[in-house]
Amino acid sequence: MRVLIISDSHGRADLLARIVEDVQPDHMIHCGDFCTPLDRVPDVSRSVVRGNCDWEEVADEQVWEKEGIRFFVVHGHRHQVKRDLSAIRARAEEAGAQIACFGHSHVPVCEQKGNILLINPGSIAQPRGVTHPSYAVLETEAPRRVRVSFFIPDGRPLHPWGGRFSL
pLDDT digits (tens, 9 = 90+) for 35-85: 999 999 999 999 999 999 999 999 999 999 999 999 999 999 999 999 999
Average pLDDT, the chain: 95
Identify the DSSP state of 157.
Answer: B
> What is the set of domains in the chain, with CATH numbers?
2-166 (3.60.21.10)
Instruction: Give whole-number Cα distances, 161 to 18, 74, 107, 149, in Å.
Output: 22, 20, 11, 7
Nearest CA among 103, 118, 131, 97 for reference residue 162: 118
Assess whether pLDDT exceeds 90 at residue 161: no
Q: Is 114 helix (H, G, I), strand (E, B) or coil?
A: coil
Please, are residues 137 and 151 in contact by the beta-carbon 8 Å criterion? Answer: yes
DSSP state of 74: E
Rounded CA-CA distance 87/38 in Å is 28
Entry pTM: 0.96
Residue 151 confidence (pLDDT): 97
What values do phi and psi take at 36, rounded to 5?
-140, 165
Looking at the predicted structure, is the pLDDT value of residue 130 above 90? Answer: no
